[in-house]
Structure 1
Amino acid sequence: MDRMHAIRLFVRLVECGSFSAVGREEGIGQPAVSKQIGALERYLGEQLVLRTSRQVVITEAGQAFYESAKRLMDDFDALESSVGDRRRSPRGTIRINTAPAHGRLCITPLLPEFFRRYPDVTIQMSVSERHVDLVGEGVDLAIRHGRLVDSSLTARKLSEADSVLTASRDYLSRNSVPTRLAELDQHTCVVFAKDRERYPWSLKVGKETVSYMPHGSLLTGDAEHVRAAVLCGLGIAQAPRWLLAEEIRSGQVQVLLPKLQPARVPIHLVYPAGRRVPVRVRVFIDYLVAAFARPVRRP
Structure 2
Amino acid sequence: MRVSLLDRVNAIRLFVRLVECGSFSAVGREEGIGQPAVSKQISALERHLGAQLVLRTSRQVVITEVGQTFYESARQLVDDFDALESSVGDRQQSPRGVVRVNTAPAHGRLCITPLLPDFFRQYPDVAIELSVSERQVDLVGDGVDLAIRHGRLVDSSLTARKLSETDFVLVASPAYLAAKGVPIQLPDLDQHTCIVFAKGHESSPWSLKVGQEAVSYVPHGSLLTGDAEHIRAAVLSGLGIAQAPFWLLADEIRSGQVRVLLPALQPERVPIHLVYPAGRRVQMRVRMFIEYLVSAFASPEL
Say whether the fold is shared (TM-score over 0.5). Answer: yes
Amino acid across the alignment from 2:235: V
Q: CA deviation at 1:176?
A: 0.6
Partners in 1 of 2:288 and 2:170 — Cα distance?
36
Compare 286-295 and 244-253 and name the one that shifted more.
Answer: 286-295
CA RMSD of aligned residues (A): 2.0
- The answer to whether the aligner puts 1:76 opposite 2:76 as a matched pair is no
TM-aligned CA distance change 1:272 to 1:24, over 3 Å: closer
Q: CA deviation at 1:57?
A: 1.5
TM-aligned CA distance change 1:280 to 1:28, over 3 Å: closer
- The answer to whether the aligner puts 1:247 opposite 2:252 as a matched pair is yes
Counting only pairs closer than 5 Å after superposition, residues 217-232 of structure 1 correspond to structure 2 as 217-232=222-237
Deviations 1:17-76 (A, max 9, x none): 222333344444433322221221222233222222221122233233334333433443
Counting only pairs closer than 5 Å after superposition, residues 147-186 of structure 1 correspond to structure 2 as 147-186=152-191
Partners in 2 of 1:60 and 1:24 — Cα distance?
26
Amino acid across the alignment from 1:238: Q
- The answer to whether the aligner puts 1:213 opposite 2:232 as a matched pair is no
Amino acid across the alignment from 1:266: P
Partners in 2 of 1:143 and 1:183 — Cα distance?
35
Tell me what 1:38 maps to: 43
TM-aligned CA distance change 1:65 to 1:231, over 3 Å: farther
Partners in 1 of 2:20 and 2:97 — Cα distance?
15
| Contact 1:78–1:279 (Cα < 8 Å) also in 2 | no
Amino acid across the alignment from 1:279: M
Compare 8-17 and 152-161 and name the one that shifted more.
Answer: 8-17
Amino acid across the alignment from 1:142: A
Compare 287-296 and 259-268 and name the one that shifted more.
Answer: 287-296
Q: State the TM-score, normalized to the length of structure 1.
A: 0.92
SS at match of 1:70: helix
TM-aligned CA distance change 1:278 to 1:20, over 3 Å: closer
Tell me what 1:100 maps to: 105
| Contact 1:47–1:59 (Cα < 8 Å) also in 2 | yes
- The answer to whether the aligner puts 1:257 opposite 2:231 as a matched pair is no
| Contact 1:97–1:128 (Cα < 8 Å) also in 2 | yes
| Contact 1:81–1:90 (Cα < 8 Å) also in 2 | no
Counting only pairs closer than 5 Å after superposition, residues 7-46 of structure 1 correspond to structure 2 as 7-46=12-51
Partners in 2 of 1:35 and 1:220 — Cα distance?
47
SS at match of 1:37: helix
Tell me what 2:274 maps to: 269
| Contact 1:74–1:276 (Cα < 8 Å) also in 2 | yes
Overall identity of the aligned pairs, in %: 80
Partners in 2 of 1:250 and 1:96 — Cα distance?
31
SS at match of 1:150: coil
Compare 187-196 and 37-46 and name the one that shifted more.
Answer: 37-46
Q: CA deviation at 1:230?
A: 1.0
| Contact 2:194–2:222 (Cα < 8 Å) also in 1 | yes
- The answer to whether the aligner puts 1:121 opposite 2:119 as a matched pair is no
Partners in 1 of 2:125 and 2:82 — Cα distance?
13
Partners in 2 of 1:85 and 1:96 — Cα distance?
22
TM-aligned CA distance change 1:88 to 1:28, over 3 Å: closer
TM-aligned CA distance change 1:294 to 1:203, over 3 Å: same
| Contact 2:207–2:267 (Cα < 8 Å) also in 1 | yes
TM-aligned CA distance change 1:197 to 1:264, over 3 Å: same
| Contact 1:158–1:293 (Cα < 8 Å) also in 2 | yes
Q: Deviating runs (4+, > 6 A) in structure 1?
A: none
Tell me what 2:198 maps to: 193
Q: CA deviation at 1:268?
A: 1.0
Amino acid across the alignment from 2:195: V
Q: State the TM-score, normalized to the length of structure 2.
A: 0.91
Q: Which runs of 5+ in 2 are unaligned?
A: none
SS at match of 1:142: strand
Partners in 2 of 1:155 and 1:42 — Cα distance?
40
Q: Which runs of 5+ in 1 are unaligned?
A: none
| Contact 1:188–1:216 (Cα < 8 Å) also in 2 | yes
Q: CA deviation at 1:84?
A: 2.7
